[in-house]
Structure 1
Amino acid sequence: MTKTLFAADRTPQADIHYIFDLAETVVREQVYYPTRYGVEIAADLYYAKDLDKTTSSPALVVGPPFGGVKEQGPGVYANEMAQRGFVVLAFDPAYHGYSGGQPRYVGSPDTYLEDFSAAVDFLGTLDFVNRDQIGAIGICASGGFSLGATAQDARIKAVATSVMYDIPSLAGLATGQERAEQVAALSQQRWDDFGKESSAFDYNYPEAPLDQVPADLPPVPTEFLSFYATKRGWHEHARANITATSNLSFMNFQATARIDEISPRPVLLVTSEEAHSKDFSLATFDRLKEPKELYVLEKGQHVDFYDRTDTIPFDKLEDFFKKAFN
């Protein structure tokens, strides 16, 4: 793995690699704030250059796909939504990217939910943010995390997911002998990792971006590689998702168990007919109470909702949050 820079390094903005161009009408500021566990979060705050800071504006917090960082999909969403009048915070999860926390790339359902609430903590300190109009957007795995966070944080007034994955639910599917074997293997892995500078990972992406993805891979890995392993989305801080032993927490704790309690706050689930993750949105929609909306586009692969501005339904997201806040 490449050397990870922590939030304390205060890396100049110009030295950070973004996969998209900042709109000329948008301001991006580096900000830092703590979680309730004392981990320092590195985030980017986006807002329009002509934003009237003498009044309070609606705000959004955007969470990344599993293993992703703010310079990828969250920044794409923040850049677009800032042009539509929102103050938007895109963050690196604790233990990832430029955020602090040791060991690196560790995670649990609770830490990923806390990332959203800590972002709300920070947004609520800004004079030009309306505390009663803060919403959340979760991309891929952050879809499930954003729902879990909203269920336990009443300050999040509306939540939208984009091609969501419910990682805790997925991790908990194994039962019987299959689950016992997984637990035994990961328990042994804790001994193997103990005392070492780095831990085992589920997978690693290449140290440098590829020109193309190998042709002999199954469709789903190929799709993820087409983003994370190529120049399209490769980032030096998004080369692994979490440490392998972190999966023990996901196997044992269902972060989305109480999402029916989000009601009466509104929920929007965005997916497409082509997205391999569509079934997560369908199953989650059935578990939610009103008001809820399932928005299914005809086109767009799962990873297209990470960065393709002509695929991501920003008009729909804008309309959803403005109606929710008003």
Structure 2
Amino acid sequence: QPDVDSSRIGVLGICGWGGIAIQTAINDPRIKATVASTMYDMTRVAANGYFDTDNSAEKRNAARASLAAQRTEDYRNGSYKRAGGVVDPLPTDAPQFVKDYHAYYKTPRGYHPRSGNSTDGWNVTSVLPLMNFRFFEYAGELENAVMILHGEKAHSRYFGEDTFKLLCGDNKELLIVDGASHCDLYDNLDKIPMDRIAQFFSKWMPAE
């Protein structure tokens, strides 16, 4: 059997990339320690909607039909229709997490001209492959260390807590950050537990 024990690789993913980081670690045992901060399960939200409110075959099939029609339209047009980034201007009745996204992606705090959330979003059809499989099917087989961080007030907290329940072993840790929202763990240095993250990597990836 190939020797992967000598590797010293750690990964840290934020938001959608947090879920992807765990999925990658499941597939690659060279990754000795993974931190998923304010994570999304992109396959779950693509297939089920936020808070699983669209979790039915009827709604998924309707979405598939609409997206399939969009693929045909994109082919005819020779370009991809974009889904739109964070809504702007911000409606007064927007949910708090949408307001938080706007305050990050649509202001100098987090705006970038190549960010889909800051500009015109992903292709409308980009969600199709995410709807067709689920992350974490083999999460219980992940032997190496994982820390999941989530804000106490994060709308996405259920992604992290439910994913943590799938993990096995005493090298897994769920840390809920008091008073933090989803976007606080992007860049709020008063909320991000840098010391705990450093301790985690030091413990599971000790210096040689």
Shift of 1:172: 2.5
Name the structure 2 match of 1:155. Answer: 30
Structure 2: gaps (5+ residues): 1-5, 49-54
- Asked whether 1:254 is paired with 2:134, we answer yes
Name the structure 2 match of 1:297. Answer: 177
> Residues 256 and 241 from structure 1, CA distance in 2 versus in 1: closer, same or farther, beyond 3 angstroms?
farther
Give the alignment's TM-score, normalised by structure 1: 0.55
* Bigger relative contact order, structure 1 or 2 (CA pairs below 8 A, ≥6 apart): 2
Q: Identity over aligned residues, as a percent?
A: 32
C-alpha distance in 2 between matches for 1:224 and 1:283: 23
RMSD between aligned alpha carbons? 1.9
1:213/1:226 contact within 8 Å kept: no
- 1:71-150 equivalences in 2 (<5 Å): 132-150=7-25
2:179 match: secondary structure? coil
1:132 match: secondary structure? coil
Counterpart of 1:181 in structure 2: which amino acid? A
Deviations 1:149-180 (A, max 9, x none): 11111111110111111011222223221111
Counterpart of 1:231 in structure 2: which amino acid? P
More strand by share: 1
Residue of structure 2 aligned with 1:284, choices 134, 155, 163: 163
1:148/1:256 contact within 8 Å kept: yes
Name the structure 1 match of 2:149. Answer: 270
2:34/2:146 contact within 8 Å kept: yes
Give the alignment's TM-score, normalised by structure 2: 0.85
Runs in 1 of length 4+ with deviation above 6 angstroms?
none
1:145/1:256 contact within 8 Å kept: no
Deviates more, 1:234-243 or 1:150-159: 234-243
2:147/2:174 contact within 8 Å kept: yes
Structure 1: gaps (5+ residues): 1-130
- 1:42-53 equivalences in 2 (<5 Å): none
2:29 match: secondary structure? coil
More helix by share: 2
2:97 match: secondary structure? helix
